[in-house]
Amino acid sequence: MSALILISVLGVLVLYLGLFDKKSWLAPVSILGLLGAMALFISGYHIDHELLGGMVEFSAFSIGFNIGMAIITALIFFFGSDYYARQEHHVAEQYALMLFSLVGGFILTSYTSMLMLFIGIEILSIPLYILAGGKKQSLRSNEASFKYFLLGSFSTAFLLMGITLLYGLTGSFHLEALAAHMASTGTGDMVQNFGLFFVVTGLAFKVGAVPFHFWVPDVYQGAPTLVTIFMSTVVKMAGFAAFFRFIDITGMPDALARIMVLLTLATLLVGNVIALKQTHFKRLMAYSSVAHSGFLLLALLTDHGHAAGHGDAIGHTLHYYTFTYSLATTGLFILFTIAKRANNGAEHNNIFQGLFAAKPWLALCALAMFLSLAGIPLTAGFIAKYQVFLLAIGAGWLKVTLLGVLMALLGIYYYIMVVREVFVTPEEPVRFEVSPLNWVVVSVCAVGVLVLGVWPGLV
């Protein structure tokens, strides 16, 4: 609770810094606040509040996710000092909205009540509707904001319908009451199954699972790149943490398992196949995000057959996968911004041409991060996928695992196609301008996926 208060107050403080035109202070103050929140999580210091008693619980699972999200947000803010250097107005609001959204992410990792699930999703999402339209003069950015808001409203309606049905059955918003009701009545209750279906639909939208993924490519492409990084990393981590908490407490009855199988198969297939034809980098990363959601759904699927609340190995796998995926994605989007500036605003995959000739170290960093996303050995991405497949095989989902392996092999192709561009030397040399801070952040991301691939126990 203390970290939630700190980040909330930090967001307000950042707004005041903007009011007094202290633009140079925004990133340092925000990063210091995030470090303070991490220190509070690590120390275990909490301020209990009677109004939230029993609705938010900071366990080892939630603290791990929260620290991971804070680290990624700090890396984004390091990049933000360069990204917003050319923007004169409304910079403080951008930082503050991301901090407020992060508060929603903290709630989603630690809720024990369906009421807090709803509140967490809304706190996470509403700032993003605004941030996606951050480029006010861009029709593409406005379109992204409108689509995200419209589809997000529909998903909220589904979520609320599911919560309402489950509340009607149990008379309580607490997940423990839901688990006790399901244990006593079995899985044949039609109202219960519809309630679970609607809640899962709302959560599936948030993580970009097929067929609730239609917002992902347009929003990733239209939103400012810094916001795209935040949505593809922090939001994904929070979404899957929330998804796991709900799935784990229900014990995943057979009816829900059938829905999850369909979601997993469709997400793996659609994400990887459509990514093959993408020539626009942000859309490629969008469908890559959908594909990775398929692997993470496969990890969730393995919770079927476990006793309610006993998915520690699954929770650890989700944490490791989402964090390492976020590291690689953050670094690649920063490199994308650097290449975009060097190519007069172009956003296609070939903007990376000449990177190795001009900046060999950054090209090697790009190689490491692309290989991690592809799941090549000696990278964190390989360990992440290996852990998912190991869980799936152990749970008996052999056919779904086989499709997952095939899709992982297919995914290597579209990552390698971009890697090839990195090492192509164009006829005319391209000048890539890289600030020292961006160089450090990209290096941290690249080294991180390599170190965590060799020593996965660090997470």
- The string of DSSP codes covering 222-257 is HS-HHHHHHIIIIIHHHHHHHHHHHHHHHT--HHHH
Q: How many domains does the chain have?
A: 1
The three-state secondary structure class of 103 is: helix
What is the DSSP secondary structure assignment for residue 307, as one 8-state letter? P
Give pLDDT tens digits for 211-264. 888 899 999 999 999 999 999 999 999 999 999 999 888 877 888 888 899 999
Query: At residue 347, what are phi and psi to the nearest 5 degrees?
Result: -130, 15
Model pLDDT, residue 1: 61
Averaged pLDDT, 62-87 = 90
- Dmax (CA) for the chain in angstroms is 71
Helix (H) or strand (E) segment spanning residue 312 = helix 312-342
Per-residue buried b or exposed e for 259-296, using 16+ beta carbons within 10 Å of the residue's own CB? bbbebbbbbbbbbbebbeebeebbbbbbbbbbbbbbbb
The residue whose two tokens read 């109202």 is 191
2 vs 95: CA distance, rounded Å: 20
CB burial string 344-368: b at 16+ within 10 A, e below: eeebbbbbbbbbbbbbeebbebbbb
Q: What is the pLDDT of residues 127-181, one digit of tens each?
A: 999 999 888 788 888 988 999 999 999 899 999 999 999 999 888 888 888 888 8
C-beta neighbour count of 431 within 10 angstroms:
8
The string of pLDDT tens digits covering residues 169-221 is 888 888 888 888 887 776 667 888 899 999 999 999 999 998 888 899 999 99
Q: Is 186 exposed, middle or buried (0-12, 13-18, 19+ CB in 10 A)?
A: exposed
Query: Is 452 within 8 Å of 459 (Cβ atoms)?
Result: yes
Question: How many Cα neighbours within 13 Å face the side chain of 32?
Answer: 9
Reported as a single tens digit per residue, the pLDDT across 118-128 is 999 999 999 99
- Range of the structural domain that residue 395 is part of: 2-458
The distance from CA 13 to its chain's CA centroid, rounded to whole angstroms, is 26
